[in-house]
Amino acid sequence: MDRVMRVGSLVSFLLCIASFTVSLCKGDLYVPCKEHERQALLLFKKDLDDPSNMLSSWGGASDCCNWISLEGEIPNSLGNLCKLTAIDLSSNNFLGRVSAIFKSHLSNQLESFKNLRYLYLSNNSISGLVPVSLGNLSLLEELAIDNNSFEGVISEVHFTNLTRLINFFANENSLTLKTSPDWLPPFQLSILTLSSLHLDPSKLPAWLKSQKHLSTLNMSNTGISGTIPIWFWNIYSNGAYFVDLSRNQLSGEVPNIVSANWPKQQRFDPQVSGILIDLRSNQFNGSLPLVSSAVSTLDLSNSSFSGTLSHLLCDRSDVPKNLLVLHLGNNLLTGEIPDCRLHWPNLIVVNLEDNNLMGKIPSSIRDLLSLRSLHLRNNKLSGELPVSLQNCEQLLLLDLGGNKVAGSFPIWFGQSLVVLSLRSNQFHGAIPYKLCSLTNLQILDLAHNNISGTIPRCFQNLSSMANTFSSEGLTSIQFLDASFSVLVFLGSPTQRLQFL
């Protein structure tokens, strides 16, 4: 409570202002204070009567992100602010029912709030129903009620006059979005996030077809079922960024992930953000879809896709591909990994684990010069590990566990390796001393192979195994979750090699 004060006694002093913001650093105390935010808060304090000196921390040379934040019920007196165009109460500890705040004002054609364009209530503990009268805020462009405790139903009437609405954030509430199959929304959205809401009916809403400028759509964990319609990829603008339909019960085949609205890149440009497609953890089946060169991340894991990888990886249309992350793990894919050269030169993460792939790892893997994480665990791969893999000098993680890869222990691994798992294969021979040159290695798992000979004493020089893994420079690639103990697995899971 030492960094928290109640806002009720403050807001009654704020009359006829254009914008009201009480969100400190968006709730992130690790983000340094921005000067314009500092000045705004000092200006806010200047107009207040604070006889108890509760805002004494607001000033001096201290970081404004450490100044007192606000909690308690949002006061009814907020309704007295007559010329508001923006209200930002996000990332505080507010609670109570939102209807109590606006009760006397939203019922009278919102004359007191006719200028409101931005309403941010995110990341609080606000409960109750979403007032139907919000639909009368005809100038509203952004509405954010996400990460609260709202309940009940949002229906078409909530959006009656929201013709200017561009961004709507409602995820992580106990809400149901109920619309009729023939509803035509009055708005054109750019961002729509409904994650963990319930949709009624429980299918991809038909009204999405009317949207022409979507850049971000999040309907993950909403309980939707049925198939993805052919028109679905055409509702996104050429500035599309993120599509998340993960953790649902969607089924059938996924239509090719291409759109006439998406720009075709003739060459890879790291300054251009590609589209992130997340369809993991559904019930899709059939062949893998083709993918536009505009897509940078594709996650189709944890489903029931079948057939071979050739349909996707050897597609020559719309090349070169600009995909950076490909996750096809935990499906029913069969056949060999195709030797398709130069189609996917920018891949950083490839995850094909937990499928039924067989045959050799293709030598064309040498073309993936940016590859940092390769997951091939639990397949039926055989043959020897291709020497061409040494061309992947940026490789940090190599997981081949649970296959039938054979041959002597490789000695050409790149110096960048942090995680190496060859568990449950058919490698044989002695462990080469050159392995001790992998100074960045933090996990080494060689269990359940045919390795013989002595354990090199230089293993004690693998000092990185005593350190916590650092993913500096890999903020967008999360393939490790925990700190690593000083263990080298060489036999059964109970055997540990320790140096005294």
Could you read off the pLDDT of 95-112 as tens digits, one per residue?
555 555 544 333 333 446
The DSSP call for residue 191 is E
| pLDDT (0 to 100) of residue 486 | 31
Per the structure block, which two tokens stand in for 325? 């992350």
| pLDDT (0 to 100) of residue 84 | 73
Residue 446 CA to residue 448 CA, distance in Å, equals: 7
Domains and CATH numbers, the chain: 1-189 (3.80.10)
8 has pLDDT over 50: no
275: left (phi over 0), alpha (psi -120 to 50) or beta: beta
| pLDDT (0 to 100) of residue 50 | 62
Which amino acid, 196? Answer: S
| pLDDT (0 to 100) of residue 36 | 65
Could you read off the pLDDT of 128-174 as tens digits, one per residue?
888 888 888 889 999 999 999 899 999 999 999 999 999 999 999 99
Per the structure block, which two tokens stand in for 480? 């490790």
| pLDDT (0 to 100) of residue 66 | 66
Sheet holding 149-154, edge to edge: 4-6, 69-73, 93-97, 125-128, 149-154, 174-178, 198-200
Q: Answer whether 449's CB lies under 8 Å from 427's CB.
A: yes
Residue 448 CA to residue 427 CA, distance in Å, equals: 9
Residue 167 CA to residue 144 CA, distance in Å, equals: 8
Q: Taking the model in full, what pTM does it have?
A: 0.80
34 Cβ partners below 8 Å, 6+ apart?
none
Tell whether omega for the bond before 185 is within 30 degrees of 0, i.e. cis: no
Q: Can you point out the beta strands (E) in 64-166?
A: 69-73, 86-88, 93-97, 118-120, 125-128, 142-144, 149-154
Residue 328 CA to residue 305 CA, distance in Å, equals: 9
Which amino acid, 137? Answer: L
74 has pLDDT over 60: no
487 has pLDDT over 90: no
Q: Taking all residues of the chain, what is their mean pLDDT, rounded to a whole number?
A: 78
11-15, 241-245, 332-336: least confidently modelled range: 11-15
| Dihedral (Cα; 159, 91, 200, 137), 10-degree rounding | -10
Per the structure block, which two tokens stand in for 11? 């807001």
